[in-house]
């Protein structure tokens, strides 16, 4: 098959939901089997919409937030993504001359300053997780370890400037302690460091890849179903998502989608029996945008849709602007999203736009 794509390429067609198998999410045993999640604004990129959605009208640009998330359980905490560095001009040259020419950065202070302002105890922070290695998610880590998805490190090494094409500072690779989720072919219990990587909440934790929801590989990090890291490839090597149970009995979840999609229009609205109004990955000059493996990325975007079909799951992308002004931000938390109707509210625009397109096509 050719490496050039057309916009109506079958390989990029949004995947029908009945193609995904479904493994029911394990139910909580107690009210405590949850994590608390807060969304923290960090920075913004002004982006050409045509790189995010095939439904862009022309050269319009929009502001795309870079969210960070604090995940807390008891007296331990994890940071999921950190946004853009404050000095993007000092990023490796391939970033400055590449994406930063397209995406205009409005850097912020990252999540650490707001956490400090609110008196967060950094002794609680056991882990930083990067949904993936890209420059708009990664900052110097305030935690003892950084967790990455499978195969990330191989693609980051040796780093810039040893490799002049690398987007990763070699100095960061030296400075921080990285831990990686095991390869997708790993079966059985994880015996390497990642198997016992804190935070663990209980001793004797037994981590391994399990099927969960529509994902073939997820790890139940705390062993109580409150936090899953999910293998979600396609955007770049090692891209992962996180599924977080924020209330128990009844169980409700937030799915942190990372950069699996950069726009709601790719995974929403959830298709009905009659129609599927999702955008395919946009194609410019024969190149699918922001997906290293476009077919895998298309499959992974469909997983965001399949999860969103569940009434008790709300997805949030790392750059999802539509949650701005809808959900409470840090120090508020996302636990009561269902009770507060945030999912329907953040989807109002994407549904309205899909309806408008439908009417134009019919007209
Ligand atoms: Zn990103």
In tens digits, what is the pLDDT along the chain, a chain of 363 residues? 568 999 999 999 999 999 999 999 999 999 999 999 999 999 999 999 999 999 998 899 999 999 999 999 999 999 999 999 889 888 889 899 989 998 999 999 899 999 999 999 999 999 999 999 998 999 888 999 999 999 999 999 999 999 998 888 899 999 999 999 999 999 999 999 999 999 987 777 899 999 999 999 999 999 999 999 999 999 999 999 999 999 999 999 999 999 999 999 999 999 999 999 999 999 999 999 999 999 999 999 999 999 999 999 999 999 999 999 999 999 999 999 999 999 999 999 999 999 998 877 654
Centre of ligand 1 from the C-alpha of residue 363, in Å: 37
pLDDT at 28: 97
Centre of ligand 1 from the C-alpha of residue 238, in Å: 13
Sheet strands (E) in 132-183? 146-148, 178-180
Centre of ligand 1 from the C-alpha of residue 31, in Å: 34
Question: In this structure, are residues 17 and 306 in contact, taking their beta carbons and an 8 Å threshold?
Answer: yes
Which string of DSSP letters, residue by residue, matches 96-142? HTTHHHHSEEE---TTHHHHHHTT--GGGEEEEE-SS--TTT----S
Give, for 314, the enclosing helix (H) or strand (E).
strand 313-317
Rounded Cα gap, residues 268 and 305, in angstroms: 6
Centre of ligand 1 from the C-alpha of residue 137, in Å: 6
Centre of ligand 1 from the C-alpha of residue 12, in Å: 20
Domains of the chain: 10-362 (3.60.15.10)
Centre of ligand 1 from the C-alpha of residue 227, in Å: 22
Residues 6+ apart with CB under 8 A from 353: 55, 265
Centre of ligand 1 from the C-alpha of residue 260, in Å: 9
pLDDT at 3: 84
Rounded Cα gap, residues 247 and 260, in angstroms: 25
> Residue 358 is encoded by which pair of tokens?
């439908």
pLDDT at 193: 93
Helices (runs of H) and strands (runs of E) counted in the chain: 10, 15
Give, for 77, the enclosing helix (H) or strand (E).
strand 76-80
What are the strands of the beta sheet with 61-73, ordered from one edge?
104-106, 36-48, 61-73, 76-80, 125-129, 146-148, 178-180
Centre of ligand 1 from the C-alpha of residue 67, in Å: 9
Rounded Cα gap, residues 321 and 141, in angstroms: 25
| Cα radius of gyration rounded to whole Å, the chain | 20
Rounded Cα gap, residues 120 and 145, in angstroms: 18
Pairing of strands 227-231, 215-220: antiparallel
Residue among 256, 247, 251 nearest 218 (CA):
256
């Amino acid at each position: 098959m050719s490496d050039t794509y057309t916009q109506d390429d079958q390989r990029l067609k949004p995947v029908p939901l009945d193609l995904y198998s479904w493994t029911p999410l394990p139910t909580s045993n107690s009210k405590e089997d949850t994590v608390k999640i807060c969304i923290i604004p960090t920075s913004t990129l002004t982006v050409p919409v045509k790189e995010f959605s095939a439904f862009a009208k022309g050269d319009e640009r929009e502001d795309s937030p870079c969210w960070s998330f604090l995940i807390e359980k008891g007296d331990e905490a994890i940071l999921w993504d950190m946004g853009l560095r404050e000095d993007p001009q000092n990023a490796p040259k391939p970033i400055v001359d590449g994406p930063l020419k397209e995406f205009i950065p409005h850097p912020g202070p990252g999540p650490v300053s707001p956490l400090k302002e609110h008196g967060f105890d950094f002794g609680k922070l056991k882990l930083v997780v990067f949904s993936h290695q890209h420059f708009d998610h990664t900052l110097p880590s305030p935690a003892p370890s950084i967790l990455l998805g499978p195969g990330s490190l191989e693609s980051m090494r040796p780093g810039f400037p040893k490799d002049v094409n690398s987007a990763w500072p070699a100095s960061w690779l030296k400075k921080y302690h990285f831990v990686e989720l095991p390869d997708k072919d790993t079966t059985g219990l994880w015996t390497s460091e990642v198997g016992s990587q804190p935070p663990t909440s209980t001793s004797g934790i037994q981590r391994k890849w399990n099927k969960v929801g529509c994902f073939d590989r997820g790890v139940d990090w705390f062993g109580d179903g409150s936090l899953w890291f999910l293998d979600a490839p396609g955007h770049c090597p090692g891209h992962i998502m996180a599924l977080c149970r924020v209330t128990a009995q009844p169980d409700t979840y937030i799915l942190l989608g990372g950069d699996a999609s950069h726009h709601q229009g790719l995974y929403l609205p959830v298709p009905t029996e009659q129609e599927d109004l999702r955008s395919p990955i946009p194609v410019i000059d024969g190149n699918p945008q922001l997906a290293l493996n476009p077919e895998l990325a298309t499959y992974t975007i469909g997983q965001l849709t399949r999860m969103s079909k569940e009434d008790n799951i709300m997805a949030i992308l790392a750059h999802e602007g539509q949650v701005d002004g809808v959900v409470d931000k840090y120090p508020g938390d996302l636990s009561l999203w269902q009770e507060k109707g945030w999912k329907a509210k953040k989807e109002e625009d994407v549904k309205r736009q899909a309806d408008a397109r439908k009417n134009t096509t019919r007209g």
